[in-house]
Structure 1
Amino acid sequence: MTMTSSTGLRPTRAPRQKGWYIPWIFVGLFLVVAAVNGVMIHFAFSTWTGLQTEEHFLKGIKYNQDLAGARAQAERGWQVNVDFTSTEPLKGLASLTLRDKNGALLDGATVKIKLIRPTSVGHDVTMDLPYLGEGRYAAPVTLTLEGQWDMRVEIQHASGDYQNQKRVWVQ
């Protein structure tokens, strides 16, 4: 609302009502919340690798069987030394030494390893390790990325089976 002074030269305004800025505070707070939500949504979509557990329902049902298998594996007491040695960039040697609980060499086993990239999909490598003698299984490995990998070992033998996982670093 504008009014003119008695001289008619300058328009004057009526004084603002008390608390006129309060609705703008609410608008500002909602804009801040919307901006923060937008940033969080951006980071959620840009950093999600798409990794998920396959057949999660069936794995949950078989959990008690997995616990019984772990107990049986512990009772066998096998001595398994798993190692990954980087030989050159993105290449290495996966090796394993297998002995029973008395220290006797175990031969005739089928040893399979799977190198899993924990942060991205599509780079996993699965291979069989051949028996080299004296309880040792090994093979050269070529990978696509450097960094941390999970090396999952699965051993099948006439006296039982074994599985374990080790985190390795590839240079």
Structure 2
Amino acid sequence: METETPAAGRPLTGRRVAIYIVAFFAVVIGVNGIMMKLAIDTLPGTVVDSAYRASLAYNGEITAAQAQASRAWQVAAHVERNGDKASVRIEARDATDRPVSGLAVTARLARPTDRREDRPVEIAERGIGIYRGEAENVPAGLWELVIEAERGGDRVYLSKNRVVLP
């Protein structure tokens, strides 16, 4: 039985085939290792630290949402980016269209894909029912404006809205 020789003139031996197979798998394993390292390094982490605790708090969230809906507040927010700063203006009115004053309002600009890029917004009441604040180092792009208002230690309002900042 004759061994076929490739065009280069060298015979294809079992040793060369073994070297090709080992080299192929070394490349595949090396690329997989690099991809795993990059995926783990860029992983933003968990969204919820404890799914069990989050599920226990779910009924409380439903109750809070129903109480918020029964108040029938109208809350308008405006976000404007100037340079690397973003300014937020929030106006809160009750069901009778009177300004809602005396709230402890917190806000944050959150990236929908990565919690590590969230930016807190320092909010203060600047007029009756008008709350303003600024966030630093806010690049352009898609953000979620998360507004929370408390009165007497209880959360009375929660809102999440998508905004695009040019």
Query: What is the TM-score of this pair, normalised by structure 1?
Result: 0.67
CA distance in 1, matches of 2:24, 2:98: 71
Alpha-carbon contact 2:111-2:143 (below 8 Å) kept: yes
Q: In structure 2, what residue type is equivalent to 1:144? A: N
| Structure in which a larger fraction of residues adopt helix | 2
CA distance in 1, matches of 2:86, 2:98: 27
CA distance in 2, matches of 1:25, 1:71: 66
Q: 1:104 to 1:165 in 2, by over 3 A?
A: same
- Partner of 2:42 in structure 1? 47
What is the RMSD of the two structures over their aligned residues, measured on CA atoms? 3.5
- Partner of 1:69 in structure 2? 64
Residue among 100, 115, 135 paired with 1:142: 135
Q: 1:123 to 1:156 in 2, by over 3 A?
A: closer
CA distance in 1, matches of 2:87, 2:119: 16
Q: In structure 1, what residue type is equivalent to 2:135? A: T
Alpha-carbon contact 2:119-2:135 (below 8 Å) kept: no
The answer as to 2:96 corresponding to 1:109 is no
- Partner of 2:2 in structure 1? 15
Q: How much has 1:22 moved relative to structure 2?
A: 9.0
CA distance in 1, matches of 2:155, 2:24: 63
- Partner of 1:10 in structure 2? none
* 1:130 alignment partner, SS class: strand
The count of aligned residue pairs is 154
CA distance in 2, matches of 1:78, 1:68: 16
Alpha-carbon contact 1:107-1:131 (below 8 Å) kept: no
CA distance in 2, matches of 1:16, 1:39: 39
Q: In structure 1, what residue type is equivalent to 2:137? A: T
Structure 1: give runs of 5+ residues left out of the alignment: 1-13
| Identity rate, percent | 23
Which protein shows a greater Rg?
Answer: 1
CA deviations on 1:91-139 (whole Å, 9 max, x unpaired) are: 1321111112232222222222123345252653242321413x32213
Matched ranges for 1:29-48 at <5 A: 30=25, 33-34=28-29, 37-48=32-43
Q: 1:145 to 1:137 in 2, by over 3 A?
A: closer
